[in-house]
Amino acid sequence: MEEKRSGGAPRAADVLWAGRLKEKPDSAAFAFQASLAVDRRLALDDIAGSRAHAAMLAARGIIPAEAAAALDGELERLAAGIAAKGLAAIGLDAFPAADVTAEDIHSLIEGLLTEKLGDAGRMLHAGRSRNDQVAVDFRLYLMRIIPRLREELSQTAAVLLDRAEEHAETVMPGYTHLQRAQPVTAGFQLCAWACALIRDRERFADALSRITAECPLGSGALAGSTLDLDREATARALGFAAPGVNAMDSVADRDFALETAAAVSIAMVHLSRFCEDIVLWASEEFGFIVLSEAWSTGSSIMPQKKNPDFAELIRGKAGRTTGNLVTLLTLLKGLPYAYDKDLQEDKEALFDSLDTLDACLRMFRGMISAAAFNAERMKAACAGGFLEATDAAEYLVRKGVPFRKAHETAAGLVRDCIAAGQRSVGERTLSQLKEKSPLFEDDIYAALEPLACVRARKLGGGPAPEEVRRQAARLRLLLRQAVKPAL
């Protein structure tokens, strides 16, 4: 006999364990293969897909118009309840599922519809499988979430540009191999960070263009349906460019999840690299930046400590998102085409990555907004280390010396300085400089000052203050341009 709820409708689980199967898994086995605790966040997307599907079924005469109207009304009510009360509106607590008899969000919603509407609820699944249902829900979810992440990236880049303009003339060493290389400015480095985040923003837009390109709904389990479905209508209603070209590919494809996970991982690697610099700069050895106490933590044993824990955590969480990307790649590499239950594991990894990036962007933005840059310490760090050596070589190049000879001359000057215990080329007398090249004149000393070195690098892309301001203006223009997926 069919097991019933008190209202007479079958449990949500019965929707799925019907057909040829007489036995059902015990509670532990059922919980093991259930995904409701993870895919619960697809509730609104499942409702949106179901409303479009019901409308199409009625338009094609596959189900009665009154049944479609009842389904749409109930689905709208469920969506409104979720908007007002969260998932509690459909019987889900804050943690996992109150209705443990539902395997996933799809069966839960279908069970609620059937409980409320009877046979009208049972009509909704005509012409679709959970395979195309979950594929469209997953895409719809990303179509909601990716624009939010792009906005978080935009806001974070904008904060970096604010700070870059503020510090367009704050001289500091630029580093290669973590060795002092040439004088730059703090604004120049902050613009560099903003460039990376803007690329991340557009990388998500690129992924979104493929997410919205094809709608899986109507693909069925893998081979479509014999029913007279209007796949073009449901694709348009849900914001897709067109139905999927091949039904098997539509339910097997998780490229969109991989692309999104990769975009998240790349963005997190960027944040991790920024935070590595911040951790170094916040140390006593560098002293370039003072993090707000609100964005630092103390030590449980050392009273004097002020630790850059937020930067360190962001750096650490980059490994988490990289691991999630590897999880998805590994998940897919051995699967035969069409749908396999393994694909149930795709969402948890990607959801975790999306949540992690969202949180890290907000934390990073707050941390960098409140940070103070120690301009004097940065300027002092430009003394010593011969950051002006390349400028000395280019001084000679401007006077006609071949670069390789100019480079050799500057290297010889550095060796002489080290032997004499001097920390910069500018400490050599003019006669000592002329011993290396008679082309040196008194103007060399002004040219080797750190700020002069920076101001001389005014080519596009350089660290000159006016060029940093131009870069910031150009990057702000990019942020204002709304890049939309090509439909």
Q: What is the pTM of this model?
A: 0.91
pLDDT at position 30 is 86
> Do 173 and 183 meet the contact criterion of CB atoms below 8 Å apart?
yes
Name the residue type at position 36.
Answer: L
Instruction: Determine contact, residues 220/125, Cβ cutoff 8 Å.
Output: no
- CA distances 59 to 45, 120, 206, 216, Å, are 21, 15, 34, 19
Query: Cα–Cα distance between 267 and 198 in angstroms, integer?
Result: 10
Report the DSSP beta bridge partners of residue 184: 172
pLDDT at 120: 97
* pLDDT value, residue 483: 52
Residue 459: partners with Cβ closer than 8 Å, 6 or more residues away = 467
Class of domain 138-149+192-371: mainly alpha
Based on the residue annotation, tell me whether 299 is a catalytic residue of this protein.
yes
CATH number for 25-126: choose from 3.40.50.300, 1.10.3720.10, 3.30.110.30, 1.10.275.10.
Answer: 1.10.275.10
Distance in angstroms (rounded) separating the CA atoms of residues 156 and 198: 9
> What residues contact 62, with CB distance under 8 A and at least 6 apart?
126, 127, 227, 228, 229
Q: Which residue positions in the chain have pLDDT lower than 70? A: 1-21, 93-100, 482-487
Give pLDDT, residue 14: 53
| Size of the chain in residues | 487
Within 143-299, strands assigned E span 171-176, 179-185, 214-215, 242-243, 289-290
Q: Which two tokens stand for residue 111?
A: 């069970």
DSSP-assigned letter for residue 19: T
Q: pLDDT of 131-167, one tens digit each? A: 999 999 999 999 999 999 999 999 999 999 999 999 9
Enumerate the domain spans of the chain. 25-126, 138-149+192-371
What single-letter DSSP state applies at residue 185? E
Instruction: Judge whether 271 and 345 are in contact, CB under 8 Å.
Output: no
Cα distance between residue 130 and residue 107, in whole Å: 9
Q: Return the HEC string of 59-99.
A: HCCCCCHHHHHHHHHHHHHHHHHHHHHHHHHHCCCCCCCCC
In this predicted structure, what is the pLDDT of residue 18?
54
- Residues 106, 209, 299, 300: which is the catalytic one? 299
pLDDT at 21: 65
Q: How would DSSP label each residue in 295-309? A: G-B--SS-TT--B-H
- Choose the catalytic residue: 6, 177, 300, 431: 177
